[in-house]
Chain A
Amino acid sequence: MIVEEIMNTELSTLSKDDKIKDAMELMREKRIRHIPIIDKENHLEGIVTDRDIKEAGPSIFHSDDCNDILEQPLSSIMSTNIITGHPLDFVEDVAAIFYEQKISCMPIVVKNNQLVGIVTQTDLLHTFVELTGVHQPGSLVEVKVRNKRGMIYRVVSCAHKCKANILSVLVYPDKKDEDFKIIVLRVQTMNPLRLIDELEKEGTEVLWPNLPGMDA
């Protein structure tokens, strides 16, 4: 999946001559936390986050005598050393950059810094939610299998045998035992009993429902 498919293209932007007050109002009104700062030709010049504003803003303990702070231009607080992305970047890579650089948003630019979109932590999380398939009606089955080749094939064959349409498959390592991994299937059925039966016959351990302290 590429960034173009998940980025926001309806952007709320300001210019560096706008005031801190304007940014505060825009964030409140649109319920956003990041405002790209652009020039008249739509070139990205900086970014202002809710944290920049909080750091610049007066403390609530002396709000009256510091009103002039809110009149300062955004150029005085915006970050200019910005990590940007491209519409053709891979979403997985972008997620890794968010994690490594500890950032919470990434403006997406083309050509000479022309702003075309923005990706936030929320968008990445939403994409992950979609990957897990929960936006379509289905049942979830978790199975624990040995960490060796051919295991997904066996699990998926069981689903095929039961004519179960698979909505998503996630695989992650078993944290308690590195010889095993856990396969999470989301299947489009209200009655997963036959599938569970097949999986158990196949010799996999069905962790379902998985409540600590409970022998299912």
Chain B
Amino acid sequence: MMKEAVFIYSEEQLKYKFHDEHPFNHLRLKLTYSLLKKINAINDGHIVPPRMATDEELLLVHDPNFIEAVKKAGKGELSNDLAESYGLGTEDTPIFPNMHEASALLVGGTLSAVDYVMSGKAKHALNLGGGLHHGFRGKASGFCVYNDCSVAIKYIQEKYNARVLYVDTDAHHGDGVQWTFYDDPNVCTLSIHETGRYLFPGTGNVNERGQGKGYGYSFNIPLDAFTENESFLEAYTKSIQEVAAFFKPDVIFTQNGADAHYFDPLTHLSATMKIYREIPKLAHKIAHEYCDGKWIAVGGGGYDMWRVVPRAWSLVWLEMTENSNFYGKLPEEWIKEWQTKAKVHLPDEWDDPENLYPPIPRKAEITEKNARTVESALLPIRNKK
């Protein structure tokens, strides 16, 4: 029988860990799972443990020498100079023991999600351990070693011959995925992010539209710093609807980075929990409208792991299971269990208060500028109509 949704998870995924002070920390997965448990929104029947991606699968995207280097690094056998040329051993992606196995497990989790959805065993699947969209073919970048999104999309193409719409709402541009499929008209990428004017990785301009046969199949919406909920959601709603109508995908793949929140230490957008209610809702609707429900979702960034990520990611799962009617207080047991370990005060409600941050000067101009960015990003497909 077809399941509504599966949740790819095991504590093994927490082994993708650089060190205690590193902003990327997959304890987020456990915090989210724990929150979903406490509200009885998840049970053992939903859980699918991730598998390891094979070398052959990683090779769909990655360079064999890079994979060798990661394997060696994880065993402490890679020289510093060589490591640096592969983006390893840097402040962003330090070397840690068994990093190949930990990274391949995150990729394998996303492949499990793909198999469940594409073989019809589940309508939707969520692997919050994935979403490592900065990984390049032969180089680690921006906290990402292997790029599970790119590998999974190639895997969908090879094994299921389907056309994929990739939607990335992480505050950072989904560069690794964009460049992997830049010349491919059968994968359409849409990334909505804070402008790369200051923020990593610096790319994701409106004029990056693809090349060769893939020209016109990459969409980028770079939002101004300090963008707030309404403007973010307007950009998201317009772009995902129009791009989906243009591309008519067989399956939708969403990257759900949760770092556009006001609290996030690495970015400068001013969104609140409101966008994390709306983002999965519309993705879900589009999956049913165009893809017979086929929706694969992964995690991504999110560096306020206590106050933002568990709530935001729970909302993805709650939407997937059509169980999103959670408002008001968070379960006390969850707060009690984690407050002692958190360095910040945990939120007590699902939604953020109205006055979370002081008013943003020039709000009207930021909104106007974002609206123009959306116009210009969508202009080619509007002209085609």
Q: Which residues of A contact B (CB under 8 A)?
A: 133-134, 136-142, 162-165, 186, 188-194, 208-209, 211-214
Contact = CB atoms under 8 A, between A and B. Distances in A.
What 3 A-B pairs come out closest when comparing CB atoms?
Answer: A137-B201, A190-B142, A190-B200
Contacts of B197: 140, 209
B220 to A, nearest CB: 14
B91 A191 contact: yes
Given A134-B196, A137-B141, A193-B266, 4 more contacts: A140-B198, A190-B143, A190-B200, A192-B200
A76 B371 CA distance: 48
A191 B202 contact: no
20 contacts: A134-B196, A134-B203, A137-B142, A137-B203, A138-B201, A139-B200, A140-B198, A140-B199, A141-B198, A186-B202, A189-B90, A190-B92, A190-B134, A190-B141, A190-B142, A190-B143, A191-B266, A212-B362, A213-B361, A214-B361
A137 B91 CA distance: 14
Contacts of B203: 134, 137
Contact of A137 (B175, B265, B268): B175
A140 B202 contact: yes
Nearest to A216: B268
Contacts of A193: 265-266
Given A191-B266, A214-B362, A209 B198 contact: yes
Contacts of A162: 91
Given A138-B202, A208-B198, A211-B362, A189 B134 contact: no
B265 A189 contact: no
B60 interface: no
Interface residues of B, number: 26
A30 B266 CA distance: 43
Interface string B327-360: 0000000000000000000000000000000001
Contacts of A194: 91
B78 interface: no
Contacts of B276: none
A165 B90 contact: yes
Interface in B64-106: 90-92
Contacts of A138: 200-202
A173 B266 CA distance: 28
Contacts of A214: 226, 360-362
A133 B196 CA distance: 12
Nearest to B366: A211
A136 B268 CA distance: 21
B318 interface: no
B266 to A, nearest CB: 6
A209 B142 contact: no
A137 B134 contact: yes
Contacts of A164: 91
Most A CB contacts (10 A, CB to CB) among B143, B198, B361 go to B198
Interface in B123-167: 134, 141-143
Given A137-B203, A209-B225, A190 B172 contact: yes
Contacts of A188: 90, 92
Interface in B240-290: 265-266, 268
Contacts of B143: 190
A44 B225 CA distance: 50
B23 interface: yes
Contacts of B172: 190
Nearest to B265: A193
A135 B209 CA distance: 15
Nearest to A208: B198
A137 B200 contact: yes
Contacts of B226: 211, 214
Contacts of A136: 202
Contacts of B200: 137-139, 189-190, 192
Nearest to A164: B91
Contacts of A140: 197-199, 202
A209 to B, nearest CB: 5
Nearest to B84: A165
Contacts of B142: 137, 190
B361 A209 contact: no
Nearest to B139: A137
Interface string B163-205: 0000000001001000000000000000000001111111100
Contacts of A209: 197-198, 225, 268
Interface string B220-239: 00000110000000000000
A69 B131 CA distance: 60
A133 B201 CA distance: 11
A208 B267 CA distance: 11
B269 to A, nearest CB: 11
A141 B197 CA distance: 10
A165 B84 CA distance: 10
A122 to B, nearest CB: 13
Given A134-B196, A137-B175, A190 B201 contact: yes
A102 to B, nearest CB: 26
A6 B43 CA distance: 61
A188 B142 CA distance: 9
A213 B141 CA distance: 34
A214 B203 CA distance: 24
A211 B225 CA distance: 8
Contacts of B225: 209, 211
Best-surrounded residue of A134, A142, A211, A213 (most CB of chain B within 10 A) = A211
